[in-house]
Chain A
Amino acid sequence: MKSSAPEINAGSMADIAFLLLVFFLVTTTMDSEMGMMRKLPATLPPGTPDPPIIKDRNVFVVLANSNDQLLVEGEFMDISELKAAAKEFIENPMNRITLPEKKLVDVPFFGVKQVSKQVISLQNDNGTSYELYIQVQNELAAAYNELRDELAQNEFGVSYQQLIEKKEKAKVNAIKRIYPQRISEAEPTDVGGE
């Protein structure tokens, strides 16, 4: 046998690695940090004139009460129907007179295009559950995103998400001008209470 330096016993290496592993398991969390981004309206300085009144046909009213029921444009609605209703309202494909008016806007890539003057108004009660509130926000955002996606597919042949990922700002902004996301939140009511 050849004489060589004695090997270091590596048996305890596993224990050390396990200790480190347990440390990381305990001190870290798995949840990925994701969320729905929103922008709050700035507080208006006192003396600001009232905003112009918007015609009824241009406003899509969504009310949520303390029993987590929805009233959309005066009719009771289940949350699962909200997205389709919002899409129909935003797009107004048949140019119905009960749905929003349109104005002609010159948009890059698209030329002069009819853009609806839609606004979505959302009001909840102080007793509405946060879960329903998020669902409503999510469905309305989904309605906008689906319309934008359809437009991106038709015009550029790629999805809206891909346009954002490829940082094609000009195209994204053009789509946003055709379907601007206008969700306004009214002061909540306090009927249901805590």
Chain B
Amino acid sequence: MGSKFKKEGGRGEPAISTASLPDIVFILLFFFMVTTVMREVDLKVKVVVPSATEIQKFKNKSLVTYIYIGSPTDEKLGTSARIQLGDAYAEVQDVGAYIETRRGEHDEAEVPLLITAFKVDRSTKMGIVTEVKQELRKVSALKISYSSVEGITFK
């Protein structure tokens, strides 16, 4: 046999240079920084938004107020749809007050531009959504958006 196979641990392979590893990781890091957005709240309800084709991007994200509706993630709370405003569960009648506090955080000139975005789970019944819409009308927060992902709407 002789010298056809080298003995292990003889000379040893030269180590692969890891000097460029930080650069690669930094590229990944920048990719994620650019393509993602900060999570605004901890979701307490399960929301899978429906898909749609006729949708637009928000022009200014700071003007958007989110209302989440879906069944609670905590199963002890049952499965009926709940509303989440900010970081907490809320009832339908709290919607108006929440919109008013959000308005207080903005310039008066910006108030008519504020958008309320519905992030509603696709299996939710329309009853609760309609009630929230009526509350929004009462405080004249009329610009709304139904959050959805781009995709085919039906099979």
Contacts and interface: CB of A to CB of B under 8 A. Distances in A.
Interface of A: 10-11, 13-14, 16-18, 20-21, 24-25, 27-43, 66, 79-80, 124-131, 133-135, 137-139, 141-142, 145, 188, 190, 194
A13 B146 CA distance: 44
B133 A40 contact: yes
Interface string B122-145: 111111011001001110111111
B149 interface: yes
Given A34-B148, A42-B142, A131-B122, A138 B36 contact: no
Given A29-B36, A129-B124, A21 B28 contact: yes
A24 B29 contact: yes
Contact of B146 (A31, A33, A137): A137
Contact of A134 (B33, B133, B146): B146
Nearest to B38: A28
Contacts of B58: 33-35
Contact of B37 (A11, A17, A28, A138): A28
Contact of A135 (B118, B143, B153): B153
Given A31-B149, A39-B144, A130-B124, A13 B56 contact: no
Contact of B22 (A17, A35, A79): A17
B41 to A, nearest CB: 11
Per DSSP, chain A at the interface is mixed
Contacts of A32: 57
Contacts of A133: 126, 129
B127 A127 contact: yes
Given A21-B29, A131-B50, A34 B57 contact: yes
Interface residues of B, number: 56
B61 A33 contact: yes
Contacts of A129: 122-126
A194 B140 CA distance: 27
Contact of B122 (A43, A80, A130): A130
B64 interface: yes
B60 to A, nearest CB: 11
Nearest to B58: A33
B148 A134 contact: yes
B154 to A, nearest CB: 5
Nearest to A78: B154
A129 B69 CA distance: 13
Given A13-B22, A126-B130, A141-B54, A38 B144 contact: yes
B77 interface: no
Contacts of B111: none
Contacts of B18: 11, 14
Contact of B143 (A10, A39, A127): A39
B120 A14 contact: no
A14 B21 contact: yes
A28 B32 CA distance: 9
A27 B147 CA distance: 21
